[in-house]
Structure formats: structure tokens, C-alpha cells
Structure 1
Amino acid sequence: MSNISSNSLFHFTPKREYLISILQQTFVPRYCYEEIKLGDELERAGFESAIPMVCFCDISLSQMANHIKMYGGYGLGMTKEWGIRKKLNPIIYVNPNSNISESVSQMAENIYQALDKHCSEITKNISDEYMNLSNFLKPYDGDFKRGNKIHKNVRFYNEREWRYVPKIEFDSEIKSNLTKKEFSNPTILENENNKLFEYRLRFKPSDIKYIFVESEKEIHPMMEELRNIKSRFSRKEIDVLTSKIITTEQIKEDF
């Protein structure tokens, strides 16, 4: 009987150079656009913004094929112990027709009204914590845009997402969220993404369980890339990491 969840947390990306960058620099958060619908009849029907994050899925390898198809065939499988140690958390999937939606909507309205009337240290702290919590919300289902391609009616709940979102203070020069307009401007987006380097999510070679490439012909080039990352890994660590390379072709065929 296969497990629904995994003992690993997986992060996939569409290009090998992105994977190599992660191995060189560790995980650097990037702003990702999210739209949360809370219900048309509520005082605040929803909200949208770009959130700085690194995302992982908690899916067994036997159920991974569709996820790889949508997010890319390169990635890392990290130990779940590492994720827990780094304070990652499963996100909350929101059904618009639910009590949770009503609570989130009312909380947001109360906080915005409080800030308008009296912006004190207390109200700023409450706003900070509300934003930290709301950054872990995601629709139960909806459309997903990846590059120029739109995937319709995706059930995000099936991804069992765990998320890392850096805690950014209310008055920090680094933005805790970007507006849709800011996110849509490539210059602003690149500039803001570059500021997130200090919040990178670090790992050691022993935290890695799998390194994924798309095909068997890419295994040897990936081994060479690992040997070139001398600033982060010792020769012994590189030897161990090369043994953890697996292809996403294997996952589709054998799991």
C-alpha cells in the first residue's frame, strides 16, 4: 500500500540551470502571485498579491507524474526533518463557501479599519501576524498559470504543499507582498526578488535525498556540475550527492 504523503519534501523546476542555481546558492525565495477567493457575499470577497516563498510538495513518488508535468522535471527531494527544522508548514487550502473564509474576510476587514483609525505598534504587530498567516492560504482549486500556459481547473489540494515564507516586518524596506501591478512589471519584480537573497533557505548535502534530472543522458552532465560546486561541497559530499541522482523518466515508468 503506497503512502499518500512522503518522508521527503519535493521542489521541482522546469530548467536544469535553475536546479544548479539552487545547489549553488540554496533556496532563494521568489515572489509568486496568489489570488484567494473568500466568497462573493462576504465583506471582503478575496485578495490577491505576490508573496515571497519557496514551495514544496508532500506527495509520494508513485503519485508524482502529474506534478512533474506541470512544474518541471528537475528538482530536489529534501528530508522532511530538514523542512520541519527550517519551520516550513503545510498551507491551508480555502474553500470559498466555508467558515474559514468568513473568518479570514472578517479579520482582514477589522485589521484594515484598525490601521486606518489608529496605526500603533500593537496594530502593526497584529497586521504583521495576520499577513504571515494569510501567506499560507491557497485556493482549494482554480486555474494555474505557468509561463504562457494556463492549466484549467487544477485541484491545488492534491499538491499537499508545504511553504517557506520569510517573516518580513511591517516597516521593512523589503516588501512582504507585491501588488499585481508591481508583480507584472519585470523591472520591479527582478529588483524586489534580488532583495530576498538574505532570506534564503539553507541546506546541507545531508539534507538532500534526491536530485532529479529529466533523462538518463543528463545524469553524467549533472555529476560534472556537482563536481564544479567546490565552494559549498567537499569531494566526499559530492560523491554522495552523485549517488542520489534519479531521473523523472524513472518516476513515470517505475513508480
Structure 2
Amino acid sequence: MTENILVTGGTGALGRHVVDRLGAAGHPARVLSRTRGSHIGNLGTGEGLTAALDGVGTVVHLASDPRDPSVDVEGTRRLVAAASPGTHLLYISIVGVEGHPYSYYRRKYEAERVVEESGLPYTVLRTTQFHNLVLFALETLAKAPVMPVPGGTRLQPVEVEEVAERLVELALGAPAGRVPDMGGPEIVSVAGLARTYLRVTGRRRPVVSLPLPGRVAAAFRGDAHLAPDHPDGRGTFADFVSATSGRSGYGSKAPGR
């Protein structure tokens, strides 16, 4: 048995799979969560971190909240300050966050810098958007009689369970710094993803691509969030929708990606 592993955000869409896979591999993990899990704690305030990190040799840092700026950057600083010297800190980030005008992406990049400058041995994995986030967005857009989507924007969605598989490999390995990005198997326009969603779920809506103004929309049209050289994922978005379309509200708790 290796040293204890702590997973922050271990009850989330990604965290649940990471915790399950670690357990299946013989490495049961502690779970840090604000509401449930083996250790109740709050990265925004620092509450519970000392107890959760006691005896921990590896931290898989997944906790994130696009609605709460205190979690990603200040929370990562608190986590670093509370961790013992030599703790392996594994951080999940997003492809293309450097120089991106989207405020949440800027915070993710700043958190990356906190990890890199922490003095702790670390690993950073960037991925593209998760399938369930894309599904959540499309479910929301499909509530209107006409389905509006951002024109000129492409995505490379990846299966969250495959990301969990990669994270477990990294958590059980040696610190590796910034590792290669991980993307889904296909790069598809948002309009194309919308049509896939409608086809697989048997719904009918006109899909209308709209040119969105502003720097954030322009950045997404520029494809910086894609990883064309790393189509590592196996499951496609159509596969995901087919497997989950019978589960009501599956995408209702999408991560901030």
C-alpha cells in the first residue's frame, strides 16, 4: 500500500470515477468535500485541510468552481500551504488556458502557476471539455423551439471516465511536471454536436449558428482550447449520448469546463 491519497472534489463528476478507480486498484483514497466524503473541508476557507492532509503522500486536486473565485486560486494556495514537503500534487487543468480571456480559464492558469511554483513535486494534466458538460449545455439550448449555438466554434469533447483512468495512472506514478494534453477522439463544430444530440435522442429542433461578439467568443473560435495532436480519447460524443440518453438529468451537475 502506498502513502495515503487525498482527492479534492472527490464527489464531483470526475472525482467519483477517480476515487472508484483508485479503490479498484487497491489504493482507497480520502475524499475532501464541502458536504460529504471521508473528510469535510473547504478550500475557500481552509477549514479541514490540515486533518485531511495528515499522512497524505499524493493529492489529486480536482476541486474547482467557476462560480466561486476563492476555490481555484486561493484554494490551491491553501492546499499547497497545508501539504507536507514532498507531497505529490496532481492538478487537473484545461487545454488552452494560458492567455485566454475567459475569467474561469484565467483562474485555472493562475492555479497551475501556484502548483508549479509551490516547491512540491507536481504533475499537471490539461484536458479538453468533458462529454457531460457538452451534453448539459446542449440540453439547455434545446429547451427553446430553435436551438441557437455559437457559430464558428469547435470542441473536442473527451469521456470523463477516460480522464479518470489517466489521472489514476499519473497519481500512482512519479511526479512528471506538465504532461501531454488529453483530448477527445474528434473535433466537431458545436452545430455538429447539437445535431448529433438531437439525432441520438430523437428530438427535432432547427439548429441556428449565431456569431457571438466579444473577446471570449473570438478566443473559442480561435481553437486554442483544442488538442488536435492528442486525440487520446476513445469514446465519441455520440457514444456518450447514446449511453446516457435514458438517464434523466445526467448532465445537470456538469463541471466547470
The interval holding the TM-score normalised by the smaller chain is under 0.3
Higher relative contact order (CA 8 A, sep 6+): 1
The structure number with the bigger radius of gyration is 1
TM-score by length of 1: 0.25
Higher-strand-fraction structure: 1
TM-score by length of 2: 0.25
